[in-house]
Amino acid sequence: MIPWAATGIGSMPGTNADEQSRIVAGELPDWPHVVELPARGPGSDMVGRTLGQISKVAQDFAVATTPSGWRLADGRGREMRRSASWLAEDCDAAERHYAGVGNIKISLCGPWTLAAAVEMRNGERAIRDHGFCQDVVAALRATSIELIADLQRRLPATTIWLQFDEPSLPAVLAARIKTASGMATYRAVDAPRVAESLQSLTAAVKQSQAMSMIHGCASDSPLDLFRRSNFDALSVDVSTSSGVSHDAMSAVLDEGRGLVLGLPNELGSSAKAKRVTELLGEFGFAGDEVAQRVGLSPTCGLVNQTDTAVRQILGTLRITGSHLRDDDPALSESGQEDRAR
């Protein structure tokens, strides 16, 4: 990675992939991401976009929208075809605007958040069906390989990073996913089983000559489990991190892997740089020791922001990276509170 490279998480406002990709290319030139635009409607959100891509490679994995969400269906319907078409548009925009960059990132929903979101035909969540969960992992593995290959064809000189989003995994591990009746919860999934499934995904990404990342923004994200699942990098919201997660983050850097720090949007670039320096100091690292393995990002997606706010948030991250690269001694709030382009 470029030292202190800034990247996005995934979701962006609006419905125009070309426009949003242009913003990303301008503000995050070192590590842009393929945009995700949930405002388009069902099938463009994190879960729906992943399901649409899966339905291309696993014909028996078809879902349709219901009032309660996504449910298994008899065949690949309009929602899935539309979802796949939207992702193709997003990749087209990335091809136009990100040509020549060293690294780009694209996101898919992780298998356990996916299994917690999809309903079986009887209305119960797929998380209760061990066999189906295995099918989800296998389908996601095949989808990852195909998606990486598509981006490698489009951008042959670029390193592809595939990020898996697992916001529901803490609830899966802690038996907090409610049944259809709402009167009970599903049994917890064992951590070794989760780790094994994630390891199969990281292995597929590695075999595809790409890089893997996992994003967890919950305060109880299982960072040590993520670390043991062989991802090339972890993406963490530092505003919700704790002593336990700090141990896992420090271990990631000790092992020579990457760490993307999600920094609060409201902080200016000087304050962000100071927070990064302090955090790495708590881990026992000087910035120049790990600069090529630490990236910067917002804490989460930006779908609810305006275009102006997005430019400011992403631009501030870019400037934060410049401060850190230059070992800016100021880190003060006086004089020049940075503003994005």
What six digits make up the tokens of 234? 């972890």
Report domain extents, the chain: 17-233
Residues of the chain predicted below pLDDT 50: 328-341
End-to-end alpha carbon distance in the chain: 23
β-sheet bridge partners, residue 226: none
pLDDT at residue number 335:
35
Any idea which residue has 């002593």 for tokens?
243
For residues 212 and 106, what is the distance between their CA atoms, to the nearest angstrom? Answer: 10
What is the assigned CATH class of domain 17-233?
alpha beta
Query: What stretches of 155-234 show up as alpha helix (H) in DSSP?
Result: 169-173, 191-207, 223-228
pLDDT at residue number 94:
97
pLDDT at residue number 244:
60
Alpha-carbon distances of 173 from 193, 239, 245, rounded to whole Å: 10, 22, 16
- Which among 15, 74, 19, 71 has a CA at the least distance from the CA of 48? 71
Task: Give backbone dihedrals phi and psi of 334, rounded to 5 degrees, phi first.
Answer: -85, 160
- For residue 323, how many C-alpha atoms fall within 13 Å in the half-sphere facing its CB? 25
Contact in structure between 49 and 143 (CB atoms under 8 Å): no
pLDDT at residue number 326:
79
pLDDT at residue number 1:
67
Task: Give backbone dihedrals phi and psi of 261, rounded to 5 degrees, phi first.
Answer: -95, 115
Annotate 242-310 with DSSP letters as a single string.
-HHHHHHHHHHHHTT-EEEEEE-TTS-HHHHHHHHHHHHHHHT--HHHHGGGEEEEESS--TTS-HHHH
